[in-house]
C-alpha cells in the first residue's frame, strides 16, 4: 500500500530532487537529458498528446511539441506530495507546475497545471525512473501554445 511521506523522509527528498531536476530539463528544453530519466516502456497522458506508449512516442508526440513552445517551466516542489510503497521502490509524486505559453499573436499567458508522476527503482537506494506521467492544464488555460515570435517581428 502507498503511504504519504513527510518532506523530511529520505525517499521524499530523492523524489523531490528528481522532480526538481526534471523540471529544470523541461525549462531548458533538455530533451535528451530528460529522456534518460524515463523508463523505455512509459505510459503517459499529456497536455498535447492523449495516451502515449513508450519513451519514443512521448518524446515525439508531447515533449518535442510543447517544451520548445513554452518558457519558465517549473514544478511547485514546495507543494509536492509523495506517496511511496512500503519497500520504497515505487513512488507517486503529485505536484503543481507553472509555465508561460504564447498565443498565436505572440502574447504571453500564464500556463499553470498539475502532474502525477509514477516512479520506480530496482531497490530502495537506486535511481528513480518515470514509468507514468500525467500532465494536465489548469481550468480555462488555452490548450495551444505557439512559442515566441522570432526576433524582430
* Structural domains of the chain sorted by starting position, each given as residue range(s) with its CATH number in brackets: 3-137 (3.10.450.50)
CA–CA–CA angle 75, 79, 85 (5° rounding): 95
Encode pLDDT of 95-105 as tens digits. 999 999 999 99
**H helix runs in 28-59, sequence order:** 31-35, 55-58
What pLDDT was estimated at residue 86? 98
Distance, in Å, from the CA atom of 137 to the CA atom of 117, rounded to the nearest integer, reads: 15
Phi, psi dihedral angles at 138 (to 5 degrees)? -65, 170
The list of the chain residues with pLDDT below 70 reads 149-153
Q: How much is the pTM?
A: 0.95
Burial class (CB in 10 A: 0-12, 13-18, 19+), 145: buried
Are 105 and 151 in contact by the 8 Å Cβ rule? The answer is no
What pLDDT was estimated at residue 152? 53
Least Cα distance to 4 among 74, 80, 77, 76 occurs for 80
Least Cα distance to 115 among 82, 85, 147, 142 occurs for 82
What pLDDT was estimated at residue 153? 52
Amino acid at each position: 500500500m502507498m503511504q504519504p511521506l513527510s518532506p523530511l523522509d529520505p525517499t521524499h527528498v530523492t523524489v523531490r530532487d528528481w522532480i526538481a531536476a526534471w523540471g529544470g530539463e523541461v525549462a531548458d528544453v533538455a530533451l535528451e537529458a530528460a529522456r534518460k530519466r524515463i523508463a523505455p516502456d512509459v505510459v503517459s497522458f499529456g497536455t498535447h498528446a492523449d495516451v502515449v506508449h513508450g519513451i519514443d512516442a512521448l518524446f515525439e508526440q508531447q515533449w518535442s511539441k510543447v517544451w520548445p513552445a513554452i518558457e519558465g517551466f517549473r514544478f511547485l516542489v514546495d507543494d509536492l506530495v509523495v506517496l511511496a510503497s512500503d519497500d520504497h521502490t515505487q513512488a507517486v509524486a503529485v505536484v503543481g507546475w507553472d509555465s508561460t505559453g504564447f498565443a498565436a499573436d505572440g502574447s504571453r499567458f500564464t500556463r499553470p497545471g498539475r502532474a502525477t508522476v509514477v516512479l520506480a527503482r530496482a531497490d530502495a537506494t537506486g535511481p528513480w525512473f518515470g514509468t507514468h506521467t500525467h500532465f494536465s492544464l489548469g481550468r480555462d488555460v488555452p490548450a495551444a501554445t505557439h512559442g515566441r515570435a522570432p526576433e524582430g517581428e
